Amino acid sequence: MKKLLEKLVASIFTVSGLLTSIVILLIVGFLFSEGAGLFRNRIIDPGYVLAVNKSNPVRELSPEQIKAIFDSDLVDWAEVGGDSGPIVPFRLEDADRYFSEAQLGPNYEHAGRLIAELIERTPGIVAFVPGQMLPPDAEIAFIEDRTISFSEIFAGKEWFPTATPSPLFGIVPLVTGTLWVSFFAILFAFPFGIGVSVYLSEIASERTRQLLRPVIELLNGIPSVVYGFFGLVVIVPLLQRVFGLPVGESGLAGSIVLAIMALPTIIAVAEDAMHNCPRAMREASLALGATQWQTIYRVVIPYSISGIASGVVLGIGRAVGETMAVLMVTGNAAVIPTSILEPLRTIPATIAAELGEAPAGGAHYESLFLLGIVLFFITLAINLGVEAISSKSRS
């Protein structure tokens, strides 16, 4: 009986030991099952077609071209491989401009036939209308609809998930935004992180250490939304004034806040590594006549370099995944950043800002899960990198 209980408890402990692995598997599974659906979506909104005149040779358009056409950024068919001539974009809402209410009839009864005729007689038209609306015998051609391709997402330079007729899910601006803001954050945090950890581990007296440690712990404990709030009411207006920016919400504001948030991680890991440098090595260096500073940068830092690297990489991980603070201070413009003083948008901020408005199961919803997958793998790579660094130093 007692033996049985022991066995039972042991197996329960074993299962709970595997729990984190199970959770990670579940996370991967659910993110993929929701996110992979994006590749099954078609480039044109479901239920709709893009109809063109029979004489128009163009049958294929990329989502980016479709968006440009309907934004009137693309105005000539020659630009998309057709015969030169003006592009006339047509949406269902435009029907009122072309036809009178009497012509359209009650409930838009005649709209389908009228639009079909319009397409038949306008060579440059491209009409975005529900497929069922057009009469089947109309002499018109259609732009080919296909599923969203891999490269349109991973190499796409525009993120307009709610655009019609063709939403754009290019994640390049979000990925570059994330890396850009994290890069600057680490750039700011690195000297401070190393400086403070050297100070804590090598220079400070026990009393200063007792004072400084809780400070670092508290910096780590402050919620990201409080950092975001502080950034919003202090750093953003300050930057706006100092740099004379039109808006203070910028990559720089995000980087500063992220630098403060990444500091405790860097300090904790780097200090720990320096602290573990054997006393004998320090004493040998000092005995050879080296000063304390020479000992630090010739002996302690080289000895603990892998720990320092782990700390910095973990700091990058923290910066890449940070959501709320970045969401609140970076201005969230989904453009590929060219300057740190411009607003930009990161992957986590995009998910947080848009998931609430994306209907469950739709392409937009799935695209946000895909972003989650990308984020997951970025941080996974970072963690495995840290693992590799620290296991290398152990051996």
Partner 1 sequence: MEHFIPYPARQGFRKRWSQRAAFLLFRLFSLVVAATLVIILGFIVWKGAGAISWEFLTEAPSNGMTSGGIFPALVGTLLLMLGSALVAFPLGIMSGIYMNEYATRGWLVRFIRIMTNNLAGIPSIVFGLFGMALFVQYLGFGDSILAGSLTLGLLSLPLVIRTTEEALKDIPDAYREGSLALGASKLQTIRKVILPMGMPRIVTGLILSLGRVSGETAPILFTCAAYFFPQLPSSIFDPCMALPYHLYVISTSGTDLEAQQPLAYGTALVLVAIILLVNLLANALRRYFQHKVKMK
Binding positions for partner 1, 305-364, rule CB under 8 A: 314, 317, 320-324, 328, 348, 351-352, 355-356, 360
Candidate segments 49-57, 69-77, 85-93, 377-385, binder of partner 1 by CB under 8 A: 377-385
- Tokens found for residue 114: 């009228």
CB of 41 to partner 1, least distance (A): 18
Q: Does 242 bind partner 1 (CB under 8 A)?
A: no
**With 0-12 CB in 10 A as exposed, 13-18 as middle and 19+ as buried, what is 142?**
middle
Residues 261, 256: Cα–Cα separation, whole Å: 9
The site for partner 1, by CB under 8 A, has a size of 86
Return the bridge partners of 141, or none: 52
Q: Which amino acid, 389?
A: I
User: How far apart are alpha carbons 274 and 266 in whole angstroms?
Assistant: 12
- Nearest residue (CB) to partner 1, 64 versus 354: 354
Q: Which one, of 164, 176, 168, lies nearest residue 38 by Cα?
A: 168
Single out the residue of 230, 240, 333, 336 in contact with partner 1 (rule: CB under 8 A): 230
Least CB distance to partner 1 at residue 148 (A)? 20
268 interacts with partner 1 by CB under 8 A: no
Does residue 237 interact with partner 1 by CB under 8 A? no
85: left (phi over 0), alpha (psi -120 to 50) or beta: left
* Closest separation in Å from C-beta 164 to partner 1: 24
Only one residue has tokens 């004998």, namely 280
Among residues 86, 223, 237, 278, the one that binds partner 1 under rule CB under 8 A: 223
Among 154, 160, 183, 199, binds partner 1 (CB under 8 A): 199
For residue 272, the minimal CB distance to partner 1 (Å) is: 12
Choose, by CB under 8 A, the member of 63, 89, 167, 228 that binds partner 1: 228
Tell whether residue 14 is a contact of partner 1 (CB under 8 A): yes
Q: How far is the CB of 270 from partner 1 (least distance, A)?
A: 13
CA angle 308, 184, 172 (to 5 degrees): 115
3-state secondary structure of 182: helix
Q: Based on CB atoms, which residue is closest to partner 1, 45 or 202?
A: 202
Strand-pair partners of 131: none
18 forms part of the interface with partner 1 (CB under 8 A): yes
DSSP state of 43: S
Selected binder of partner 1 within 36, 155, 187, 203 (CB under 8 A): 203
- The only residue of 1, 4, 17, 246 in contact with partner 1, by rule CB under 8 A: 17
For the chain, where are the E strands, in sequence order?
48-53, 88-91, 125-130, 140-142, 159-160, 168-169
Question: By CB under 8 A, is residue 288 in contact with partner 1?
Answer: no
Q: Tokens 């934004």: give the residue.
A: 71
- CA–CA distances in Å: residue 382 to residues 110, 181, 186, 262, 350: 60, 16, 14, 14, 21
User: According to the binding rule CB under 8 A, does residue 384 interact with partner 1?
Assistant: yes
Cα 192 from Cα 273, distance rounded (Å)? 16
Instruction: Choose which of 55, 103, 291, 338 interacts with partner 1 (CB under 8 A).
Output: 291
Q: Which stretch binds partner 1 (CB under 8 A): 88-96, 144-152, 189-197, 272-280?
A: 189-197
Q: Is 19 in the site for partner 1 (CB under 8 A)?
A: yes
